[in-house]
């Protein structure tokens, strides 16, 4: 909070009115390995104390009332505006608990007149940071653009809680990359769309926030005044490690061996000569952490609801700030603003406008330990050794994609959030959607010395709306089905067909051991006839074969496939590949570079061109299809092909 | 649900929605919001048009007036910017706005070359608003240095550092002190940072400046050599971090490699670095 705010001790205030209800429930802020701050608001004055201890029923220590800071409405405290637009009478209490042990869980309660006024259910607790530089792992949640107060935001939060309950994990901290209180970050919007929504999490997990453009309508980074700065207590003096920034708009903090850096991309000078960039340079030169995470609101790379090739703040963060971060050895950059999930390959030096992929991708794999393998970096913070960019602006508002950044490995247009673990030598990141499904996984392993050579012609995602074959939602008129809906196919699931990668597509291939089942094939989404119950988490590819006859006089060049698919497939006619949709390269087990696609109970039509020469009128013809799921843990898979021809 | 409530989906969508609203019921706030969206797209002409429209509807619309004054200043239309700046100064009523208005006035005076006025405004801010943003202190100190009052600048920055604890202010205090030849107060900080930092080049250069002041040429050369060696490993030649180019330029200039230093200076100038960020480099090149 800005220093111009006057701080009063409760002992200076006459207590005339008894305790009134919380107008903002208790939440934890500004924590380090020996300190945590508990903050709450009431609609009127009171003289509370905070009691704490290492068990919920043993709150033996106390922060007395005269050591709790109070902030008041400006009309009641003097010339300086303590709050931006809080109702008169509002009291904000800030109790700093000091002298704590590192890496330890403490419970706390707020007491008034000897009576506990927080619920004594054991959920008001916090864990102190480990000793700076220690090996302790950290598990954190990252959310952006969530502040609608609506159902999607609630589901994203609920999904995180359910996931943690299922996996038995507890958050160590929470990063918010901005736009947490639509539409203008007013006091009321903060209360309704942030504090009420996340209250069960905020009471025991510190949210380290970065200001978004919507909060920026009422809060100013330069002065540190506004509802955003009222709500958060951010380090300005290096209280949690990192170099003192002197202002709450940008800061850094340490957790074990991880250094976190928060920047204000909204309303401060973003040039390398500006105060924020100069602080960033100095902070990066000082830190001796082994992992480096940066977060701010405006993404350097996005084509979600915003376009980083066109918008000034985004371009400046890329052109001015990213070179400093990458020369400092940053590992992951989290941003929001753009309402989408986009996750890059391992990149370095992609500062040009418009963004291109040539010569800036260091590893074009998917980074998934169960896929292409984790991205590799040198131990410690090596300059320009590779960064993964994560746009996580999908925390609660409507999602959208306007195009494709060629650096992105995953582009997912769903609401969700990110869960990250840093343990040992590895950063593991997962994207959890609002249904609780893991939709992306990647890792960065840092050990030894890793030298990368930029890839001249790296893998690139398909442009938006385009797949390798040209599709149309409409089937041409006057067609008939050579292989109609729900036809029985021979299929192979969970195994690889024998022979070379495409032997199984040949007409003479012996598929007698393959089972048969009616299309569609898959799981999830309740749109499949042959349900592949063991597919999720076990395998990603299903092989289909179906023989068909050609009617006399068939117009062979009018043939087309109508397919409902999730996520990708390759089609073969009589052993020759005729269509590839959402698969970059390879076949079968070697297929790589999948685009995500939802079937949505729809069929896309793909004309098959120049196939007449492949067909055997009067003979046996085989349509073979390999269906691919982009992610082993995907929530659904579908492949349901129809073969059509003009009547 | 209106886009403006839930957060806009794209700048273009927001402009479209605001345009529709403006066609039905124009307000200064709507024009201002659309101007900000145009500014995000770097469409200065459209931004200016909307800010003027907002001020026609509400001549006292503070945000529009401030944004327009800054836009005019950045496009070097100083006379008109000054007119708006005067109006803002008169109308600003809250503490943050009063400080913001004064700072605009000081910046405008500086870009017009009226350093005396800029200094006077900064001094007034120091006296009247002691809790101002440290950006103003950095600006004020730069003016003092330009006026060859490095010692005063150092004193000002030291006081600001005591108030904010910000490391940029502290480093600026050290640099201003060295420029003033005042080694003693900053020497312990330089020593400590050299010992504690992961990357040491910036602090080796500062220690080299101390050696330069003390006439310890061998020590200076030794530190500069070490700094340049480290910078070599940190600078990516094809796409460099300009903050490191700034360090390298200074080290090269001090070392006597003036042609190479000039190349770095030229790169910084082409990249739009403001003059104040390479004052020391220029000074070394001119020596």
Report the pLDDT value the prediction gives residue A60, as an integer from 0 to 100.
Answer: 96
Which is nearest to A223 in space by CA: A186, A264, A283?
A264
Least confident of A470-479, B59-68, B257-266: A470-479
Return the higher-pLDDT residue of A84 and B267: B267
Structure tokens at B24: 């039905």
3-state DSSP percent of chain B in helix, strand and coil, to 5: 80, 0, 20
Identify all chain A residues contacting B8, using CB atoms and an 8 Å cutoff.
305
**Total CB pairs under 8 A between chain A and B:** 160
Q: What is the nearest CA distance from A398 to chain B, expressed in angstroms?
A: 7
Q: What 8-state DSSP symbol labels residue A320?
A: I
Identify all chain B residues contacting A311, using CB atoms and an 8 Å cutoff.
11, 40-42
Tell me the pLDDT tens digit for each residue of B70-103: 999 999 999 999 999 999 999 988 888 999 999 9
Q: Do B165 and A236 touch (CB under 8 A)?
A: yes
Report the pLDDT value the prediction gives residue A353, as an integer from 0 to 100.
Answer: 94
- Residue range B194-198: average pLDDT? 96
Report the pLDDT value the prediction gives residue A8, as an integer from 0 to 100.
Answer: 40
Report the pLDDT value the prediction gives residue A9, as an integer from 0 to 100.
Answer: 39
Separation CA B10–CA A399 (nearest Å): 11
Report the pLDDT value the prediction gives residue A4, as an integer from 0 to 100.
Answer: 34
Distances (CA, A) of A576 to A80, A506, A580, A587: 76, 8, 11, 12
- Residue range B46-57: average pLDDT? 98
Distances (CA, A) of A107 to A30, A103, A118, A137, B204: 16, 13, 11, 21, 47
Bridging pattern class, strands A426-433 and A416-423: antiparallel
Distances (CA, A) of B158 to A538, B151, B194, B195: 63, 11, 20, 22
Flag residues of chain A having pLDDT under 70: 1-20, 74-84, 464-473
Q: Which long-range contacts (CB under 8 A, 24 or more apart) does A580-586 make?
A: A580/A468, A580/A469, A581/A467, A581/A468, A581/A469, A581/A471, A581/A606, A582/A462, A582/A467, A582/A468, A582/A628, A582/A630, A583/A468, A583/A628, A584/A459, A585/A459, A586/A501
Q: Do A244 and B165 touch (CB under 8 A)?
A: yes
Separation CA A196–CA A199 (nearest Å): 5
CATH 2.60.120.260 in chain A is located at 479-646
- Tell me the β-bridge partners of A50: A63, A110
Identify all chain B residues contacting A306, using CB atoms and an 8 Å cutoff.
10-11
Return the higher-pLDDT residue of B29 and A79: B29
Query: Which of A5, A177, A246 is best to mutate for the B interface (most B CBs within 10 A)?
Result: A246
Tell me the pLDDT tens digit for each residue of B140-166: 999 999 999 999 999 999 999 999 999
* Interchain CB contact of A413 with B (< 8 Å): no
Q: Which of A279, A282, A398 sits opposite B9 (nearest CB)?
A: A398
Q: Which of B4, B198, B277 sits opposite A288 (nearest CB)?
A: B198
Report the pLDDT value the prediction gives residue A465, as an integer from 0 to 100.
Answer: 56
Report the pLDDT value the prediction gives residue A477, as an integer from 0 to 100.
Answer: 82
Average pLDDT, chain B: 93
Domain A479-646 has CATH 2.60.120.260: yes
Report the pLDDT value the prediction gives residue A76, as an integer from 0 to 100.
Answer: 64
Query: Which of A222, A263, A265 is best to mutate for the B interface (most B CBs within 10 A)?
Result: A222
Chain B residue at shortest CA distance from A224: B133
Q: Do B244 and A327 touch (CB under 8 A)?
A: yes
Structure tokens at A87: 């109702």
Measured in whole angstroms, how far is the alpha carbon of residue B41 from the centre of its chain?
22
Name the 3-class secondary structure at A339.
coil
Distances (CA, A) of A50 to A36, A47, A67, A305, A383: 12, 10, 10, 44, 45
Question: What count of Cα atoms within 13 Å lies in the side-chain half-sphere of residue A573?
Answer: 22
Tell me the pLDDT tens digit for each residue of A449-463: 999 999 998 999 877
- Residue range B209-234: average pLDDT? 97
Report the pLDDT value the prediction gives residue B203, as an integer from 0 to 100.
Answer: 98
Report the pLDDT value the prediction gives residue A180, as an integer from 0 to 100.
Answer: 97
Q: What's the residue count for chain B?
A: 287
Separation CA B254–CA B267 (nearest Å): 18
Q: Which option is the CATH number for A1-128: 2.20.25, 1.20.58, 2.60.40, 3.30.1460?
A: 2.60.40
* Interchain CB contact of A78 with B (< 8 Å): no
> Alpha-carbon dihedral of residues A485, A486, A487, A488, nearest 10 degrees?
160
Distances (CA, A) of A401 to A233, A309, B96, B98, B270: 34, 14, 39, 42, 35
- Residue window 325-344, chain A: list those with CB within 8 Å of chain B: 326-327, 339
CATH number for the domain whose boundaries are A133-465? 3.60.21.10
> Alpha-carbon dihedral of residues B141, B146, B151, B156, nearest 10 degrees?
-10
Separation CA A639–CA A565 (nearest Å): 5
Residue B221 pLDDT > 90: yes
CATH 3.60.21.10 in chain A is located at 133-465
Q: Do A327 and B235 touch (CB under 8 A)?
A: yes
**B151-180 burial string, b = 16+ CB within 10 Å, else e?**
bbbbbbbbebbebbbbbbbbbbbbbbbbbb
Q: What is the nearest CA distance from B40 to chain A, expressed in angstroms?
A: 5
Please name the helix (run of DSSP H) or strand (run of DSSP E) that holds residue A581, with its range, or none: strand A576-581
């Amino acid at each position: 909070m800005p220093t111009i705010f006057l701080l009063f001790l409760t002992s200076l205030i006459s207590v005339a009115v008894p305790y009134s209800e919380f107008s903002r429930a208790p939440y934890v802020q500004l924590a380090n390995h020996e300190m945590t701050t508990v903050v709450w608001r009431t609609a009127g004055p009171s003289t509370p104390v905070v009691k704490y201890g290492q068990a919920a029923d043993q709150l033996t220590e106390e922060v007395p009332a005269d050591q709790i800071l109070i902030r008041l409405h400006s009309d009641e405290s003097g010339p300086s505006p303590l709050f931006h637009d809080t109702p008169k009478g509002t009291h904000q209490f800030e109790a700093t608990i000091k002298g704590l042990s590192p890496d330890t869980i403490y419970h706390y309660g707020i007491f008034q007149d000897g009576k506990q006024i927080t619920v004594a259910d054991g959920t008001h607790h916090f864990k102190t940071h480990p000793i700076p530089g220690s090996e302790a792992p950290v598990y954190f949640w990252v959310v952006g653009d969530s502040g609608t107060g609506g159902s999607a935001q609630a589901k994203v939060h609920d999904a995180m809680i359910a996931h943690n309950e299922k996996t038995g994990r507890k958050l160590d901290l929470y990063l918010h990359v901005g736009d947490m209180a639509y539409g203008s970050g007013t006091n009321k919007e903060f209360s309704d769309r942030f504090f009420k929504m996340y209250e069960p999490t905020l009471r025991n997990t510190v949210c380290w926030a970065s200001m978004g453009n919507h909060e920026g309508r009422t809060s100013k980074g330069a002065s540190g005044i506004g509802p955003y700065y009222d709500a958060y207590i951010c380090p300005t003096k290096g209280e949690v490690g990192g170099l003192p920034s002197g202002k709450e708009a940008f800061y850094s903090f340490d957790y074990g061996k991880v250094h976190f850096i928060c920047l204000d991309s909204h309303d401060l000078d973003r040039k390398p000569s500006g105060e924020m960039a100069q602080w960033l340079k100095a902070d990066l030169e000082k830190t001796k952490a082994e992992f480096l995470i940066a977060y701010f609101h405006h993404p350097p790379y996005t084509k979600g609801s915003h376009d980083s090739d066109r918008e000034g703040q985004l371009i400046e963060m890329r052109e001015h700030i990213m070179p400093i971060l990458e020369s400092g050895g940053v590992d992951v950059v989290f941003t929001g603003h753009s309402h989408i999930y986009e996750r890059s390959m391992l990149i370095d030096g992609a500062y040009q406008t418009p963004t291109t992929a040539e010569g800036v991708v260091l590893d074009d794999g998917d980074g998934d330990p169960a896929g292409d393998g984790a991205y590799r970096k040198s131990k410690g913070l090596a300059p320009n050794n590779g960064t993964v960019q994560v746009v996580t602006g999908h925390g609660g508002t409507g999602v959208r994609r306007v195009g494709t950044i060629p650096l992105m490995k995953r582009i997912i247009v769903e609401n969700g959030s990110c869960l990250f673990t840093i343990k040992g030598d590895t950063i593991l990141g997962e994207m959890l959607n609002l249904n609780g499904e893991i939709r992306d996984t990647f890792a960065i392993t840092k050990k030894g010395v890793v030298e990368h050579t930029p890839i001249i012609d790296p893998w690139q995602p398909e442009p938006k709306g385009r797949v390798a074959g040209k599709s149309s939602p409409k089937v041409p008129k006057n067609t008939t089905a050579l292989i109609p809906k729900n036809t029985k196919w021979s299929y192979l699931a969970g195994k690889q067909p024998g022979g070379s990668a495409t032997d199984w597509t040949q007409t003479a291939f012996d598929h007698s051991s393959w089972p048969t089942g009616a299309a569609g094939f898959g799981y999830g989404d309740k749109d499949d006839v042959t349900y592949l119950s063991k597919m999720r988490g076990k395998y990603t590819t299903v092989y289909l074969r179906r023989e068909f006859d050609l009617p006399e006089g068939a117009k062979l060049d009018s043939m087309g496939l109508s397919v409902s698919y999730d996520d990708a497939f390759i089609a073969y006619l009589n052993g020759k590949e005729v269509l590839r949709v959402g698969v970059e390269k390879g076949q079968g087990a070697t297929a790589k570079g999948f685009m995500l696609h939802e079937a949505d109970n729809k069929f896309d039509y793909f004309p098959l061109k120049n196939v007449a020469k492949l067909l055997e009128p009067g003979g046996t013809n085989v349509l073979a299809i390999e269906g691919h799921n982009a992610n082993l843990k995907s929530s659904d898979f579908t492949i349901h092909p129809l073969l059509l021809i003009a009547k | 649900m209106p886009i403006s409530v839930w957060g806009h989906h794209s700048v273009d969508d927001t402009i479209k929605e605001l345009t529709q609203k403006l066609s039905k019921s124009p307000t200064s706030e709507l024009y201002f919001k659309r101007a900000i969206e145009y500014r995000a797209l770097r469409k200065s002409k459209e931004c200016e048009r909307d800010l003027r429209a907002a001020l026609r509807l509400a001549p006292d619309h503070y945000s529009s007036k401030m944004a327009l004054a800054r836009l005019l200043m950045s496009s070097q239309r100083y006379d008109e910017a000054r007119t708006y700046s005067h109006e803002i100064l008169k109308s600003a009523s809250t503490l943050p706005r009063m400080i913001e208005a004064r700072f605009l006035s000081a910046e405008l005076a500086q870009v017009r070359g009226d350093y005396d006025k800029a200094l006077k405004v900064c001094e007034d801010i120091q006296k009247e608003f002691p809790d101002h943003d440290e950006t103003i202190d950095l600006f004020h100190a730069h003016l003092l240095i330009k006026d060859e009052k490095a010692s005063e600048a150092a004193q000002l920055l030291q006081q600001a550092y005591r108030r904010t604890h910000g490391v940029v202010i502290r480093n600026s205090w050290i640099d201003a002190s060295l420029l003033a030849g005042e080694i003693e107060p900053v020497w312990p900080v330089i020593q400590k940072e050299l010992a504690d930092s992961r990357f040491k080049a910036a602090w080796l250069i500062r220690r080299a400046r101390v050696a330069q002041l003390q006439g310890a040429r061998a020590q200076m050369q030794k530190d500069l050599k070490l700094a340049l060696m480290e910078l070599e490993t940190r600078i990516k030649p094809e796409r460099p971090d300009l903050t490191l180019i700034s360090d390298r330029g200074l080290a090269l200039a001090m070392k006597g490699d003036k042609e190479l230093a000039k190349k770095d200076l030229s790169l910084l100038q082409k990249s739009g670095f403001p003059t104040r960020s390479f004052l020391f480099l220029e000074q070394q090149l001119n020596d």
